[in-house]
Amino acid sequence: HTNRLIHEKSPYLLQHAHNPVDWYPFGQEAIDRARRENKLIFLSVGYSTCHWCHVMEKESFEDEAIAKVMNENFVNVKVDREERPDVDRIYMSFVQMTSGGGGWPMSVWITPDLRPIMAGTYFPPVDRWGQPGFRTILQRMADKWRRDNTELVEFSSSVVHAMTESLQMEESASDDLRIEEKFRECTRIYKGRFDGVWGGFGHSPKFPEVSRLHFVLHAFLHSSIFLQNPDQDLFHGVAHTLEKICHGGIHDHVFGGFSRYAVDQKWHVPHFEKMLYDQAQLMMILCNCYRVQPRKLFLDISDRIFKYMCSDLRDSGGAFYSGEDADSLPTHASPEKIEGAFYGWLKSDIEAAFEENADKLKDFPFNALEVFNHHYNVKDEGNVEPHSDPHGHLQSQNILIITGSAEKTAEHFKIPLEELEKMLSIASEFLHEIRNKRPRPHLDVKMVCAWNGLALTGLSKLASLSASSVREECAKVSGELFTFIHKEFFDATAGKLRRVCYSANEEAPSTPIYGFLDDYAFTVRGILDYYEVSLREDVLAFAEELQRVQDKLFWDPEKGAYFYTEANSDNMIVRMKEDYDGAEPSGNSVSVKNLLLLGGYFDSSDFRDKAKKTLHYFSALSHFGYAMPEMMSSALIHDTGINEIVVVGPEGEATNEFLKVIREFYIPGLILFHVNPEQPKEFAKIKVNSYKMVNNSPTVYICFNQMCLPPETSVENVKKILAEKYLHPK
């Protein structure tokens, strides 16, 4: 079998190109046929690294009998949610409204005018445990539509009306956003949900929830600086969570990088797909937490994420792929992929690996295998609890996890910590070589603009830490990613960002998919973070240019805030505004901070007004603080004002020493200028007039909390001032 999906670029759609189902991509051809033949559309939404999407394909979409029912009764449409998040979000909101939950694969039946009437996620192929199977549901939907579709059409109209109504926020009558009150409520909720033993929020499954951790870290600084009452519980909550995540099986101890989530409370057994957006955000929060308290673990793990991203996710053009699948073949001869096959270890495999590499370990005055097995909790019978492995895929396997710490292992065996770390590093290198001979999980080579924006943020945070072992390489990779965004993701002819690019050796699709709100918001954020590392004015100018494009395409001039899609988007039944920070923050939450920073850099009242109007729009939400932690973080910056630091001095070591010190601190809402008096540039002219060198020495001007301090010419004094404000906790 071969269907229309064979002509698509998306790896997910291509996975379905040989199903017996007569799939269409989402577009006018499918819609026209549904209207012409008056048939329901069956809309199936997923992504290429989704485990349950593969299961449903194998059970249902490759089944000839089920495909026959689908082809005779429906126009069948496949959507890659990463390529078309606009379609995904509209119909996911319907799934959540009608079932209270949601996930992928998403299965939705919609009328020829695209209104949803019935939806679910994964369906088993046949009736099971009293629940109808996919084939039964298909038959029922087809019969109901054929017999009398009036009721279904009326229902679909009421659904769209309800979805539209849900966007009509009550405007806040008061000009007071009550940020302090919401801040206190938000921190109270997070402290209540925090898992004091294993870190993170709630029980299981457990996601890193970086937006929440990021807010809590910001909240700690806010309590220290503005409330003069440092809430150490907030900081320790974030640091403890990051330590447990770094030690857990959700972290790939062999080669770095993180899986999406853990199925258990202890972060031990992951759902094994590795996504770019998780690597990027975890790198960012680890670097920011390191700035607040310089713990070697946080920096080491950030360096490992960087190495993983560059080795396994980076395209030759300089951007990054979407992610790696959870499933792979256990051996090259295996007929079927299973989840986690690439990552598990039999104890005998580890023993054989150590024996094979004995010469690399011979200089250590201890039993390296015994120490390794103790450190990573390796057991004869495997270390995965049966309730974390319901399908038995990981039977007898070990998913490496550190239940203590490197310090505790060194103490237990009475060996120097440096020797332990050296041995573990050598072991992970040869285990990585062995593992790489296994069948690899599928790699989704689609490059998503928004996620590359997040990656630019993570890379920039790491590149500005002088203690990082990969700092220079990371700065180079950041610069190459910025260039790719500028030249490839940005379509200069259309004056817009593309949502997706494919690898350098592939032709671009004939009709490009242009960016959505997230693509602009995350990319502007990444560029602003990269500017802090590069201090290149062309970088800052491009951030402003993209923000202006975002404002033109997505801004709601009536109510404020940004729509997710452009006004003239084809085949969209409603224009939505995201009101939730989930695995990725919402575009509106990120945009508020972008606008505040750009307002400071360019002294733009337009940007500042848009930030305030967006906060006003969402402040009417009862769950504003808790559901939108990234927005809450942006609201704190709005409330307390941006922090401005200007370094005046010529290029050279003396000026760089000041910049190096400033970059060692996590300063939310920072705008950083470098003014070179020898080369006054267009953008810096107003700053040159205001800020001069004192006694012909490099000089730093610091303004925060709406107050400017006297100019400083001593690196030690600058360090002391910043340490008092952005203190490293005990």
Give the model's pLDDT for residue 730: 44
Measuring CA to CA, how many Å separate 33 from each of 17, 510, 574? 19, 22, 22
Cβ-contact 551, 481 below 8 angstroms: no
CA gap 88, 533 in Å, rounded: 35
Closest by CA to 16, choosing from 69, 51, 83, 61, is: 61
Residues in Cβ contact with 154 at an 8 Å cutoff, skipping those fewer than 6 apart: none
Q: Is 407 exposed, middle or buried (0-12, 13-18, 19+ CB in 10 A)?
A: exposed
Query: Helices 210-225 and 629-640 meet at what angle, rounded to 10?
Result: 30
Does an H or E element contain 723, and which?
helix 715-725
Cβ-contact 671, 602 below 8 angstroms: no
Amino acid 663 reads R
What average pLDDT does range 244-252 have in this prediction?
A: 98
Amino acid 545 reads E
How many C-beta atoms lie closer than 10 Å to residue 440's C-beta?
14
Reply yes or no on whether the pLDDT at 502 is more than 50. yes
- Domain range 642-730, CATH architecture: 3-Layer(aba) Sandwich (3.40)
Reply yes or no on whether the pLDDT at 729 is more than 60. no
CA gap 381, 388 in Å, rounded: 15
CA dihedral (487, 489, 492, 495) positive or negative: negative
What average pLDDT does range 517-527 have in this prediction?
A: 99
What average pLDDT does range 143-157 have in this prediction?
A: 89
Give the model's pLDDT for residue 179: 86
Strand partners, 644: 671, 703
CA gap 493, 62 in Å, rounded: 42
**Distance linking the first and last C-alpha atoms of the chain:** 64
Peptide linkage before 205 cis (omega within 30 of 0): yes
Q: What is the pLDDT of residues 405-453, one digit of tens each?
A: 999 999 999 999 999 999 999 999 999 999 999 999 999 999 999 999 9
Strand partners, 398: 345
Q: What is the pLDDT of residues 619-633, one digit of tens each?
A: 877 666 788 999 999
CA gap 284, 290 in Å, rounded: 10
Phi–psi pair at 228, nearest 5 degrees: 50, 35
Reply yes or no on whether the pLDDT at 728 is more than 60. no
How many C-beta atoms lie closer than 10 Å to residue 66's C-beta?
20
Q: What is the pLDDT of residues 186-219, one digit of tens each?
A: 999 999 999 999 999 988 899 999 999 999 999 9
Cβ-contact 418, 425 below 8 angstroms: no
Give the model's pLDDT for residue 696: 93
Copy the structure tokens of residue 227. Answer: 């409330």
Higher pLDDT, 625 or 357: 357
What average pLDDT does range 92-98 have in this prediction?
A: 88
CATH of domain 4-165: 3.40.30.10
Calculate the average pLDDT of the chain: 93
Cβ-contact 562, 587 below 8 angstroms: yes
CA gap 105, 95 in Å, rounded: 11
Copy the structure tokens of residue 601. Answer: 């850099």
What percent of the chain clears pLDDT 70, i.e. is strictly above it? 95
Cβ-contact 48, 15 below 8 angstroms: yes
Reply yes or no on whether the pLDDT at 47 is more than 80. yes
Laid out side by side, the sheet with 707-708 consists of 670-675, 643-648, 699-704, 707-708
If DSSP states are collapsed to H, E and C, what string results for 549-617? HHHHHHECCCCCCECCCCCCCCCCCCCCCCCCCCCCCCHHHHHHHHHHHHHHHCCCHHHHHHHHHHHHH
Does an H or E element contain 617, and which?
helix 605-619
pLDDT interval class at 159 (50, 70, 90): confident
Copy the structure tokens of residue 385. Answer: 């609890």
Spans of all domains in the chain: 4-165, 201-442, 642-730
Copy the structure tokens of residue 283. Answer: 């790198």
Output DSSP code: residue 388. Answer: G
Q: H helices within 464-564, ranges in order?
A: 471-484, 517-534, 537-554
